[in-house]
Each structure stands twice: as C-alpha cells, then as structure tokens.
Amino acid sequence: QVQLVESGGGLVQVGGSLRLSCAASGLKFSNYAMGWFRRPPGKKREFVAGIRWSGGSTSYSDSVKGRFTVSRDNAKNTVYLQMNSLKPEDTAVYYCAARQGIVVFTTSGYSYWGQGTQVTVSS
C-alpha cells in the first residue's frame, strides 16, 4: 500500500532552519505531484508548498515564499521542504501529500497523506 513518511521535525529557535523529508513507497513516485501542508494549533490544515512530478514547477503560499524551498529526488522517492528563517507562526504539524496531475492548493485534491511531523519554533 501507499505510504508517505515524514521526518525532520523538531524544536528550533526563531530564525533557525529545519529540513523536512517525506519518503514515499507503494506508488510510482515520479508520476505524482507532491504537496506540503501544515496544521497550526487550533487551525485548519493549510497549503505550504508543492512541486510537480518533474520538479520543474513549484508553488508556495505567500506566508512562506522566500523562506521555504520544496524539492524532490525521484531516484530516492523523497520530497523535501527546506525551511529557513523560521518564525513562531510556522509552528504546526507538517504533512506531505501526493496526487496525480498538477499541484493544487486544497487538501481534498490529494489522494495520499503522511502522518505528519511536528515543527515547533520557540521565541
């Protein structure tokens, strides 16, 4: 079956960096667009970043543009989220998700989800 497993979360100070990874199995990874979403405490899950199957096209929410970078390695079936200049408002559970086709910004557009990894930014 399809599995998406996130890793790399943790506690970091304001201005610090983290790199999240999402390892995929059970699907032809290179056929799927990948998205990163997050759920801040007490809020709904929201789109953070996405990358097309080829890696040639990326999308970001306005809140992370210029600070986060999404990338993928199709040979390793892994997608990454490099997070720099972290802010307290970046505190959330981060999820990766997969869908065939293009990147979309809504949670309902994704077929597969990981279990999430906690990122906490302390001030």
Q: Look at residue 56 in the predicted model and tell me its pLDDT.
A: 82
Q: What is the mean pLDDT of each run of 10 residues along the chain (123 residues)?
A: 97 98 96 97 97 91 98 97 98 97 89 98 95
The Cα 118–Cα 123 span in angstroms is: 16
Q: Look at residue 7 in the predicted model and tell me its pLDDT.
A: 98
Q: Look at residue 103 in the predicted model and tell me its pLDDT.
A: 86
pLDDT tens, position by position, 89-101:
999 999 999 999 8
Q: Look at residue 54 in the predicted model and tell me its pLDDT.
A: 86
